[in-house]
Structure 1
Amino acid sequence: MSTCAEITVFRLQEAAAVQVLDRSTELGQSFFDAIQAIQGILGVQKVHYSLSIERPDELWLCVNWESEESCKNKLASEGVKTILQPFLKDKAPSSNHTFHVSPSPYHVLNDPTAPIVEIFRIFFPADTTDADLEAIHAHWKKCSTLAIYSGGIARGAAWGWTKEREVPHPDGEGEPGFHLVVLVTWESLARHLENNDTEGFKESAQIFHDMPRLVGYDMMHINGLLPEA
């Protein structure tokens, strides 16, 4: 049975981003209480959250459901959305959107030997077909082998497709679409940069850019370990 990840991205006002993970603040305590409530929902296995390292006003919330069936017609993140709504940077869909990823890549999170998690989203059109996917998977298999595994530096990796076909583009301007969501874990940001210097990674670049129906991509990092209480 395939697990499913419910991922929500919030873009927060600067002051709210500073407070949201700080339980000594009213907002931080409210956020933590909402996380505790999520963990009590039937079918929810685990919850992870972090601010983006490159975009510190961007909060990522990942809820791991035990199966695709258990998360059908449910949003575990509704309570958090209600709390954060007044603190969003703007009302654009890219500032508050949820998507589901299957199979869930959650299992690579919370590895104490790999506290940095790269989130690499690859964008395809909403009308991507099964035939397209077959070709995309063949390219991605070659690309991921070279880019992620050949250097022996990455600690772990997992990926899945969004169940939704019209996920908002991160920049708020590109067309909504179908995303391949990749999580790669690293010992440090420096080790990730070291991997980018390997021959395998360099060789993978052309294969990646030749991927059928490719529209674009986005890469950033989050903390792979939950903050201490």
Structure 2
Amino acid sequence: MMVLLSPSNNEGQLMKRQQILLIRHAESQKNVEGQFDGDPSTDRLTDEGHQLAAAFGAELRKRIGDNPAESFVANSGRGQQTFRAMFGELNSPTELMSELGSMKSGPYSGMNDAELRQNYPDFFQDLQLFRAGLLSGYDVRAPAGSDNWPEFEKRVATAIDQIKSSSASLKIVICHRSAMMALMVHFARRYLGYPSNHFGFVTMAPLACALVTNHEGEDNLIVDSPQAVVHNILVSPLREP
């Protein structure tokens, strides 16, 4: 089990500071089948995903103790199932937010990579370069009727404003990978000088986490999970192919 939050002098309590804990949802059937968003029949956690989310939640609850927390959860099957596995069937998130879900796939909804390559070869090529850190998300040629990164970021910005306006010392955000990428890039831009004209890919496994901390007047982006690899958004914007 990964270590997420640094305990204070009092076991089970956090230091007094503002924190946003970003969590990607647990493994879903859609992940196993390699599908892009759009098929509701696969919008559910696998048995393994549910078990790992439950174990993760138990460890997290040990660490946050009675610390006031608000939760913002993607309004999707796998987002809500991850929350319930972590915090119990009787608990409800503070807010369900469609802005924390996946990018809209439009005409390629439900496809896997092989089908995408066959039907949208230019988009598939751009996507592979983006995943490798060789192309900005802003330069990916998304098919008509699907989201592109600038459009998607505008929607996620709505969620960012609402999350940051919460007075809770700990804000837990359970989201999809694309939304978590947009959130991490947002914070990297604001606090780490990441360029505004580039969007890099972030590799992350299910239940990958990132912690954004405000302590003693300073803001920091801290990645506490080895499952979230952020070198593509934190180094120079592009590498030569």
TM over 0.5: no
Richer in helix (by share): 2
TM-score by length of 2: 0.28
TM-score by length of 1: 0.29
Richer in strand (by share): 1
